[in-house]
Homo-oligomer: A and B are copies of this chain.
């Protein structure tokens, strides 16, 4: 594990808060070691920092009550969805109370006429889509993991569909949240647009639990398209694959998904998902629209890809074939871990202007090779976002060091070409070193907002901003 900073603990406050909350929550407050560790970070090479207790509230009022208790005694509050975030967001570097929102998992209402719905934060994206299917609706944001919608809002998640449907920032209409003093606010209405005051919705989306606990989300929905088709196309190199991406975006084809996999990733997926994809760089695509429109989109893409060396282009409207390809894509993380058993994945999340994508992905491949790292690449190429994931033997200090060198190098490369160190994962603990490099003086303004809304720093302390031990 890679160590993260530990912050001073308020032992007296923590003990008091646990005693007080035990009265209200009974068995819904847990202090066993296993449950606490499961509520710390578990997904990547960042070490686990378990909270002191885990509480399972069932209503906004209960969340407000427990935040008030924590505020009174100056004890950290760490919201928890499904624990699938990648940058240590659910760790408790100063201890404190993990708020597990999994019991707040109700779809409150669906308004098909307005293409929106209200959900509690513990509803997962797959649960929501199952709930919506009969009404001909779907929620497009798809970060791979079956994450909770509260967690997805908190990290400003996106994923494979973002090139067409945007990210969580574009699909959250309004939020209800409990702020640091226990106050319950509602940030907007069900209107599709608004100019009423500061955009607190977008301020909370991506705030990683450092400003408030999201307790309800109003989401925009989409009608399930009349037709969907999937396609795949192989390329001699990632450079040519990226060129195809750039031309399809510039041409204005409204692709719903356009995903890049490098040769190593294709090999990993072939092994894990029992596929026979050609082991060269690959683009996976999906088109949404009317029957005519998806056919036309696929044809245009095929022609553009052919111009830059694409081969083996295949499109299908078979639901079964489509699901098989996308299931394999979604299992990429597990496929990688199986590709090098026992290794830990190092999450990277560079996002660059798409005109710079080809050179950045190629440079990343060379750099990983140079450092002797096995590092499959998968990317939401239409957004310029790509994940290089060094698979690291944590017992080999040289390899750990090289992975660290690589991750820093990649974040700085992204920043140097006008991009960001994190397209969709968030800063958490793992990317703090780059936030100021990326945004400079703007981080002073972020800190001022944090200090104004959470003066005692009890809301998920040690995340986003460099920890002060």
Contacts and interface: CB of A to CB of B under 8 A. Distances in A.
A385 B196 CA distance: 13
Contact of A351 (B179, B191, B205): B191
B293 A425 contact: no
18 contacts: A113-B246, A155-B195, A184-B441, A185-B444, A185-B445, A189-B415, A190-B353, A191-B351, A191-B353, A191-B423, A193-B385, A194-B351, A195-B427, A196-B438, A199-B199, A254-B254, A292-B296, A293-B293
Contact of A223 (B250, B419, B438, B448): B250
A418 B111 CA distance: 12
A418 B186 contact: no
Contact of A193 (B167, B186, B196, B435): B167
A32 interface: no
Interface in A395-422: 414-415, 418-422
Interface in A168-206: 169-170, 179, 183-200, 202-203, 205-206
Given A296-B293, A451-B452, A196 B421 contact: yes
A439 B115 contact: no
A155 B197 CA distance: 9
Chain A interface extent, by class = 35 or more
A158 interface: yes
A443 interface: yes
A342 interface: no
A252 B353 CA distance: 29
A114 interface: yes
A71 B11 CA distance: 43
B170 A355 contact: no
Contact of A197 (B157, B158, B191, B446): B446
B249 A115 contact: yes
B162 A193 contact: yes
Contacts of A149: none
A449 interface: yes
B296 A426 contact: no
Contact of A441 (B185, B383, B445, B446): B185
Interface in A226-266: 226, 246, 249-252, 254
A418 B189 contact: yes
B442 A453 contact: no
A344 interface: no
A156 interface: yes
Between A157, A199, A354, the greatest number of chain B beta carbons within 10 A of the residue's beta carbon is seen for: A199
Given A196-B438, A225-B252, A422-B195, A169 B202 contact: yes
Contacts of A166: 170
B442 A193 contact: no
A440 interface: yes
